[in-house]
Amino acid sequence: MKVFKIFLFILGILFASVLLQIPLTLAVFTKGINDWLRMPILLGLGSFLYFILWKFRAHMKIESIPARLNPLSLFKVFSLTLLVLGLEIVINLILAGIFHVDLDMSSRHTIENVLFSKNFLLIFISLHFLAPASEELLFRGIFQEYLLQHFPKQAIVSILSCAFLFAFAHTYDFLSIKTYLMMISGICFSYIYWKNRDIRWPIFSHALYNLAITILTLLFK
C-alpha cells in the first residue's frame, strides 16, 4: 500500500511538472494574444501555480525539519553549481568527440532561437526566476521532502530518486542519454537541499545554473 501511494505521488509530481509549463506556453507560443498581455499571463499564472504548490506543501504532514550541523555556505553552493555545469560540458564534449553524440545540440538551438526573438524578456524571466522557483519547490520542496520524511535514513535514495524524476520530467525518455546527463544537475540541486533543508538554496543554485548556460550561449553563439 505504501508503494502504491508513492507511485501515485510520483504521477502527481509529473502531472504538476506539465502544468508548470503552461504559463510560458501561453505567454510565448500562443497566437492571437496581444503582446502587452503576455507578461501578465506569464507572471500571473506562474505566481498562481507557485502559490498552489506552496499551499500544498504547507498542508503536507511534514514533521519539523531538522537543522543541518554543517550546511553549505553561499560560496560552496555557488562553486558546486558551476563545477557541475562544467562537468556536464566536459562529458558532452567527450561524447561528441568519441561517439559523435551532441546531447545539447537541439537544446542549444532552441535557446538561441528564443533568446534572440522578440520574446527574450519572457523567456529570460521564465528560465531564471519562475522555472527555478517552481521546479525546485515541486521536486525538492515537495517530492524530495516527502521521501526524506518517509525514509529519513535513506538520504542517497531520496537524492537519486528526486534527481532522476527531475531529469525525466525534462525529457520523458527513460532510454535517452540526455536524461541521465541531466541527472547530474538534479543530484546537485537535491544534494544542496538535503544539506541545507532550505528550499531557497536549490532555487538559487538552479537559477545560477540556468544563468550560466544563458551566458555561455550568448558568448559562444
The pLDDT of residue 212 is above 50: yes
Confidence at residue 81, expressed as pLDDT on a 0 to 100 scale: 98
The pLDDT of residue 110: 54
Q: Write the CA distances from 14 to 19, 102, 201, integer angstroms.
A: 9, 27, 22
Predicted confidence at residue 12, as pLDDT, reads 96
Cα 212 to chain centroid distance, Å, stands at 14
pLDDT digits (tens, 9 = 90+) for 130-188: 999 999 999 999 999 999 988 888 999 999 999 999 999 999 998 888 899 999 999 99
| Residue pLDDT, tens place only, 8-65 | 999 999 999 999 999 999 888 888 788 889 999 999 999 999 999 999 998 886 656 6
SS3 assignment for 32-52: CCCHHHHHHHHHHHHHHHHHH
pLDDT confidence of residue 105: 44
What is the distance between the alpha carbons of residues 147 and 143, in angstroms, rounded to a whole number? 6
pLDDT band at 221 (very low <50, low <70, confident <90, very high): low
**Number of structural domains in the chain:** 1
How much of the chain is in helix, strand and coil states, percent to nearest 5?
80, 0, 20
Entry pTM: 0.91
Give me the torsion for CA of 209, 210, 212, 217, rounded to 10°: 140
- Angle of helix 177-196 relative to helix 74-98, nearest 10 degrees, comes to 170
The boundaries of the domain holding residue 119 are 2-219
CB atoms within 10 A of CB 42: 23
Q: Residues, the chain, total? A: 221
Predicted pLDDT at 63: 59
Q: Cβ distance 208 to 127 under 8 Å?
A: no
